[in-house]
Chains A and B, each alone.
Chain A
Amino acid sequence: MKTNLTFEFNVNKANNTVEVKREFMANLALTWEAWTNPEILDLWWAPKPYKTLTKSMDFREGGTWLYQMYNTLSENQQECHWCKNDYTTIVHQSMFAGYDAFCDEQGNTNNEMPRTKWINSFSQTGDKTLVSIVAQYERLEDLEKIIAMGFKEGFTMALNNLDEYFESLNS
Chain B
Amino acid sequence: MQPISFINSISMRRDIFQAIADPTRRAIIALIALKAMTPNAIAENFNTTRQAISKHLKILVECELVRQNQQGREIYYSLEIEKMKEIDKWLEQYRMIWENRFNQLDEILEKLKNKNNED
Contact = CB atoms under 8 A, between A and B. Distances in A.
Interface of A: 5, 7, 9, 11-14, 18, 20, 22, 24-26, 30-31, 33-34, 40, 43-48, 139-141, 143-145, 147-149, 151-155, 157-158, 161-162, 165-166, 169
19 contacts: A11-B91, A13-B17, A22-B98, A25-B109, A43-B108, A44-B101, A44-B107, A44-B108, A48-B100, A48-B104, A152-B3, A155-B97, A158-B97, A158-B100, A161-B92, A162-B89, A162-B92, A162-B93, A169-B84
B88 interface: yes
Interface string B68-111: 00000000000001001100111111111111111011111110
A50 to B, nearest CB: 9
Contact of B96 (A30, A45, A153, A157): A157
Contacts of B54: none
Contacts of B3: 148-149, 152
Nearest to B113: A26
B90 A20 contact: no
Contacts of A7: 99, 102
A40 B98 CA distance: 16
B1 A31 contact: no
B18 to A, nearest CB: 6
Contacts of A166: 85
B34 interface: no
A20 B105 CA distance: 15
A151 B100 CA distance: 14
B105 A24 contact: yes
Interface of B: 1, 3, 6, 10, 13-14, 17-18, 20-21, 81, 84-85, 88-102, 104-110, 112-113, 116
B108 A34 contact: yes
Contacts of B105: 24, 34, 44
A150 to B, nearest CB: 8
A5 B20 CA distance: 27
A144 B6 contact: yes
Given A162-B92, A165-B92, A169-B85, A147 B21 contact: no
Contacts of A149: 3
A155 B59 CA distance: 33
A33 B108 CA distance: 11
A34 B112 contact: yes
A158 B85 contact: no
A45 B84 CA distance: 29
Given A25-B109, A154-B1, A169-B85, A140 B14 contact: yes
